[in-house]
Structures are given as structure tokens and as C-alpha cells.
Amino acid sequence: MAAPKTTVWHLDPHTKAKHDLLKFYLGGWFPVLSSYNGRIVFLDGFAGPGRYDSGEPGSPLIALDTLLTHSYFSNMKCEFLFFFCEAKKDRFESLSQQVAGYKEAHQPWPENVKIQLVHSEFSDTITSLVEHLRSQKRRLAPTFAFVDPFGFSGLPMSLLADLLSFNSCELFVNYMVDHVNRFATAGNVDHHLEALFGTAEYKNVGQDPSRSRQQFLHDLYERQLTDVCKFTYVQSFAMINKTGHIGYYLFHGTRDVKGVELMKNAMWKVDPGGGYQFSDRLAGQDVLFTESDVNTEPLRQAILDRYKGKRISIAALEQFTLIHTPYRKTHLRKPVLTPLEKAGVIRVERPGKSGFPDGTWVTFPS
Ligand SMILES: C[S@@+](CC[C@H](N)C(=O)[O-])C[C@H]1O[C@@H](n2cnc3c(N)ncnc32)[C@H](O)[C@@H]1O
């Protein structure tokens, strides 16, 4: 969307979907991380004014509320630090008021939940945070960084790499591919684009006949997140609008396979509504995140291609499904493997009489 001039603005259906996703993800992330860390951080780098024009909560209040209303909250003993950064003065003031109102409505405020509001540019905030930690020779506590700008300026890859050089930090970034595509060959904002990608290769957009411009820009950003930020796992999801057009990609980077699983579960849980959908591609087909009508054909095809002539454990098949496809583990056994076995396509050696329990091996045709 184009950046609004007003302090607050209208909540679009796709933003609502993004918020649901954040809520579902944090609902899983808070209990997991808090169970083995003394402190965890939620960092909202482009925090916004706190509420939308009809009073709907923005991402900072959503994150706080996900924690405070969590059924497991009273058992979470670690310290939670919420770090909200907003550059625009009127929005920062609005955010401060909204956060104060939220705290007032939730008294007595839990001692282990701390909030820090920062009126500053994302890049300045991260630069001083990283410098401070390095000078003190301290590590950053496990951090979920939500990075949700309107466009692509003020979001250099080198800055993300600095922040993410702390091992336990993960990233959820809104990558405005539509804007990037529009400006990629215009020549007037090259310094922003070069900073965004950490390379000038984006200028080659449109020169690869095998990929659309959007796909090229997607692949380049994904590669840079993997290579420069050194993420083990980078997943992305396209947000498709009513006209079937990709508005933006949501990229999630983590070094923990549990993070991949949590994000994937969240994606499949969200019903974007309003005609918006998430999608990913596998085996040349779009995979739409609609749990009511899951087409597992791309997963079936990908597994048959990948494991042609091989004997493979159920654990490895699950790992492949989780890490290399848009599907969840639950899409593997009943929807894909059972029909393949019934049709005599695969041979199954299992410890028990039925199903695909741990210890099962599957042989694929060559
Ligand atoms: C898309 S909105 C964020 C919405 C919010 N994350 C939510 O979901 O409710 C982007 C916000 O970032 C702010 N902003 C723009 N440039 C910024 C920068 N360089 N650093 C920090 N905030 C910035 C804008 O004023 C705006 O409020």
C-alpha cells in the first residue's frame, strides 16, 4: 500500500491476515522460547500508531495481547521485553498513548513484561543496539524481529545482517515486491534498492526469460537473506490480492527447525478472508493456504521426483515436507502416502500393522 499521510489509517483485509499470522506464530513462539530462556524479545521495527482508524489494534498491541491472554502465561517465568520503534512523531505519540491505555486496562501489570518505546528510525535503533551489545560483549536475548515498512527504504540488508548475527534472532519481514518491481529499473532510487538487497544484481530484473520479474526479485531477496544474514531456513509466502496479483511477500528467517514448523502452522491456520490468499509454489504449481480444500498433488509429485528409486525413513520424509515444501507434516501421511500405498506405488515396511509410525521405511519406484 502507498504510505498514508494521516496518523492512523484504515485496516485492509491483507493487514488483518498479516496480524492473524503474527498472533498465531507468537502464540506458539512465546511458550516454546520462554521455557528455556531467561529473557526473550519481541522487536517491532516499524511499529505504527498502535491502532487503526476503527480502533483495531496494531502489531504492538497484538503482540502484547497474545502474551497476556495466553492460557499458559502464568507459567511463563522468563522476562519479556517488547521493543517498539516508530520514526514518525505523531504516530509515535499515538503509539505511546495506546500502549499506556493498554497497560492501564491490564493492572496489575505483570512484573516480567517490560516495554520500551523508541522514537527513532529503525536503522538508527538497530545500529545503536548492536554497537551497545558489542561494546559490552553481550549477546542479544532470543529475538523475534517484525519488520513491516510501507516501502523499501530504511531497510538495508547489512543492518539486518548485523542484527541477525546474534544467533538466536529470527526475522519476519514484509517485502514489498510490487514497489521494488516498479522502481527496480527506474534509476532514481538505486541507493535504497542496493541497500535493500546488499547487491546491485536487482538491476538484472527482466533479463531472465525463465522467471517473471517478481519471481526474480523474490529469489534474489531470498538468496541474500540466506547468504548475508546466514539463516538456515528462509520461507516466504506470497500475499495474493483479489485480482490474483502478488502484493508482497512475507519472508520468515530462522535457524531453528521448530520456527519453520510454527510459522507453517500459523500460515495454514490463517484464513485471510476478503479475497486475499497466501500462496507458495512447489513442483511448478501454486499451493494455496486454505485448509478446507488442500490440494496435496504438488507434494505427492515433489516426493515422487525427489525419492525416485530410494528407500527412505518416515522421519526424513517429514523433514523434507517441512523444510522444502509449503506443506505441514500432517499433509504427508494420510493425504499422500496412504493413497500411494493403496495404489501399489510405494512399498512400506512398518513396525506395527498400520499407519506410518516412527521407524517406518518407504521404498519409491524408480
Ligand atoms: C506498515 S506501517 C506499520 C504497521 C504496524 N506494523 C502494524 O502492523 O500495525 C509502517 C510504520 O513504520 C513507520 N516508519 C516509516 N519509516 C520508518 C523508519 N525508517 N523507521 C521506523 N519506522 C518507520 C511509519 O510511520 C509507519 O507507522
What is the biggest distance separating any 2 CA atoms in the chain, rounded to whole angstroms? 66
Report the C-alpha gap between 91 and 48 in whole angstroms. 6
What separation in Å is there between the alpha carbon of 149 and the centre of ligand 1?
Answer: 5
Q: Among the atoms of ligand 1, which is closest to the Cα of residue 155?
A: 19
Looking at this protein, which amino acid is placed at residue 333?
R
Q: Among the atoms of ligand 1, which is closest to the Cα of residue 86?
A: 22
Q: Among the atoms of ligand 1, which is closest to the Cα of residue 174?
A: 1
- Please name the CATH architecture into which domain 13-292 falls: 3-Layer(aba) Sandwich (3.40)
What separation in Å is there between the alpha carbon of 313 and the centre of ligand 1?
Answer: 46
Determine the pLDDT at residue 308. 97
Determine the pLDDT at residue 341. 97
What separation in Å is there between the alpha carbon of 49 and the centre of ligand 1?
Answer: 8
Number of CB atoms found within 10 A of residue 202's CB: 21
Pocket lining for ligand 1, CB < 6 angstroms: 46-48, 58-59, 85-88, 91, 121-122, 148-150, 154
Determine the pLDDT at residue 1. 63
What separation in Å is there between the alpha carbon of 47 and the centre of ligand 1?
Answer: 5
- Please name the CATH architecture into which domain 293-363 falls: Orthogonal Bundle (1.10)
Across the chain, which has 366 residues, the per-10-residue mean pLDDT values are: 88 90 96 95 98 97 98 96 98 98 98 98 95 91 96 94 91 94 93 97 94 94 96 92 85 95 92 77 85 90 97 97 94 96 97 94 96
What separation in Å is there between the alpha carbon of 292 and the centre of ligand 1?
Answer: 34
What residues does each domain of the chain span? 13-292, 293-363
Report the C-alpha gap between 262 and 18 in whole angstroms. 15
Q: Could you check whether 13-292 and 293-363 share the same CATH topology?
A: no
Determine the pLDDT at residue 242. 76
What separation in Å is there between the alpha carbon of 172 and the centre of ligand 1?
Answer: 14
What separation in Å is there between the alpha carbon of 124 and the centre of ligand 1?
Answer: 14
What separation in Å is there between the alpha carbon of 355 and the centre of ligand 1?
Answer: 49
**Residue with the nearest Cα to atom 19 of ligand 1?**
121
**Residue with the nearest Cα to atom 3 of ligand 1?**
48
- Ligand 1, pocket-test mutation among 150, 176, 178, 239, most atoms within 8 A of CB: 150
**Cβ atoms of residues 243 and 277 within 8 Å:** no
- Alpha carbons within 13 angstroms on the beta-carbon side of residue 324 total 12
Q: Among the atoms of ligand 1, which is closest to the Cα of residue 149?
A: 10
How deeply is 17 buried, as exposed, middle or buried, from its count of CB atoms within 10 A (0-12, 13-18, 19+)? buried
**b/e map 267-290, b = 16+ CB within 10 Å:** bbbbebeeebbbbbebbeeebebe
